[in-house]
Structure 1
Amino acid sequence: MVEIMVRGEAVERAAAERASVTVQSRWQADAPDEAMSLVAKAHARVAAEARAFAESGAVESWHADRVWVAHHREWVGEGQPQRLVFTASAAVTATFVDVDALGAWIGDLGAEQVHEVSGIEWSLADATERQLAGRARTRAIEDAVARATDYAAAASLASPVITSIREPATGDGGPRPLMAKGRGIEVMAVSDAGGAIELSAGELEVRAAVEVGFTAEADRSGD
């Protein structure tokens, strides 16, 4: 009786279905009221548009922060008194299921200096992720069986029999972006000119890994 322990792996891929983006409305001024007033107005517009997108079905979920203000002293020049600067800020985060609507929105917001668009996080719908994970796990088992069979054949053993199945203690199952890296920088560079932004979600991958134990008897078919 020989024990065989192998690791099976598999990857399933699908196009991203959701995109989460954060729009930060931020402004600096010499007086707190001035900064707060401008940001509050800009933030209210962003929140209203996110709400409208949600009502139309383009946005799956969204939330808005409250406007806050902070201050700091800014160096002006040698021998000059430091300038007291007030910064107001607020953010809206929305998860879009309509990529074209998101591109148009980013292009519109990018034309205004008060708005900053952070990087986009691409993801899959929960049902899609579960489906891909199930397929990946099945294929990981198949991969483990194939590996064990190869080892058994190389060692002149009979077909291996599964004795244990275990998920690795650490793993990277879950969606992983293949093409989304650097997308936020790309968006900011294009949105400065205004107009709709053409976004390409690329693919996400769901990985599965499994450790499978086998036993195999000496092959006596030739006896």
Structure 2
Amino acid sequence: MTIEPTTTEIITTGTAERTLAADRATLHLRVSVTDANREDAVRRAAELHAALVRRAEALVDAGDAERFEADPLTTSSSSWEQDGSRRTEHYAGASVRALLLRLDLVGELTAELATTGVDPSVEWKLSDEVRRSVESELRGEAVADARARAEDYAAAIGTTLGAVLEVREPGSAGGSGGAAFADARFARAAAPAVVVTEGQLEVSASVTLVFRSA
């Protein structure tokens, strides 16, 4: 009887990380007005919104922003009883988003607009070209890290590394789940996750490889 040699599966997870300076910033601008008079609330919110749209258009025309999006005005009302009488408050609000190319304007714009009754916030981003390039590089580095780990384990148990049987991304079928995506915009990327701090993005990739021992 011939005894077939046994093979061992070696499963390793490789990671790669990089900290990058953002090269884009989305400026989220929200206007909201509340008033006991619905017409006044709508009028004031519409004026603020129109001013934001003009400001965003000027940024695009000057080449300081790539594009902008403006949401339509929304309204709502709420009523309650107070001191034996019925009170009603009307709300009107809208948002504008501008994708800035000049990051040196972020602080100036947020400070300027905050004084006009606008609620500003900033989302730091990478351009699509840079993001795709970095994601591709990190995937390769994560694979190399996983292979190096597997080679170490193979040597430690006295065997050699054979063919790759399986490649798993975090969250894929059969995988262990891996790290959660920190930014939904990158969820379509293989493993890259993004953690954002002011002006900086920590991008990471993770992959699990299943090898057969030779």
Q: Which runs of 5+ in 2 are unaligned?
A: 1-6, 182-190
Cross-structure match for 1:52: 58
Report if the CA contact (8 A) 2:28-2:123 is conserved.
Answer: no
Report if the CA contact (8 A) 1:8-1:143 is conserved.
Answer: yes
Report if the CA contact (8 A) 2:167-2:209 is conserved.
Answer: yes
RMSD of aligned alpha carbons: 1.9
Measured at CA, do residues 143 and 32 of structure 1 come closer, stay the same or move farther in structure 2, by a change above 3 Å?
same
Cross-structure match for 1:152: 154
Measured against aligned partners, the alpha-carbon deviations of 1:33-72 in whole angstroms (never above 9, x if no partner) come to 2112211111111100001111222212211122233221
Q: CA deviation at 1:144?
A: 1.3
Give TM-score scaled by structure 1 length.
0.77
Cross-structure match for 2:127: 125
Measured at CA, do residues 60 and 75 of structure 1 come closer, stay the same or move farther in structure 2, by a change above 3 Å?
farther
1:179 aligned onto 2:197: yes
Report if the CA contact (8 A) 1:25-1:90 is conserved.
Answer: yes
Q: CA deviation at 1:175?
A: 4.7
In the TM superposition, structure 1's runs of 4+ consecutive aligned residues that sit over 4 Å from their partners are: none
**How far apart, CA to CA, are the structure 2 residues paired with 1:167 and 1:208?**
12
Report if the CA contact (8 A) 1:162-1:212 is conserved.
Answer: no
Cross-structure match for 2:16: 10
**How far apart, CA to CA, are the structure 2 residues paired with 1:85 and 1:208?**
49
Larger strand proportion, structure 1 or 2?
Answer: 2
**How far apart, CA to CA, are the structure 2 residues paired with 1:34 and 1:175?**
45
Measured against aligned partners, the alpha-carbon deviations of 1:173-193 in whole angstroms (never above 9, x if no partner) come to 33512424xxxxxxxxxxxxx
Report if the CA contact (8 A) 2:124-2:196 is conserved.
Answer: no
- For these two proteins, the number of residue pairs brought into alignment is 191
Q: How does 1:153-172 map to 2 (within 5 A)?
A: 153-158=155-160, 160-168=161-169, 169=172, 170-171=177-178, 172=181
Report if the CA contact (8 A) 2:195-2:203 is conserved.
Answer: no
Cross-structure match for 1:104: 108
Measured at CA, do residues 70 and 163 of structure 1 come closer, stay the same or move farther in structure 2, by a change above 3 Å?
closer
Measured against aligned partners, the alpha-carbon deviations of 1:110-130 in whole angstroms (never above 9, x if no partner) come to 1123x222x322111111111
What amino acid is the match of 2:139? R
Cross-structure match for 1:93: 97
Measured at CA, do residues 66 and 178 of structure 1 come closer, stay the same or move farther in structure 2, by a change above 3 Å?
closer
SS at match of 2:110: helix
What amino acid is the match of 1:109? L
SS at match of 1:120: strand
SS at match of 2:31: strand
Report if the CA contact (8 A) 2:192-2:206 is conserved.
Answer: no
Percent sequence identity is: 26
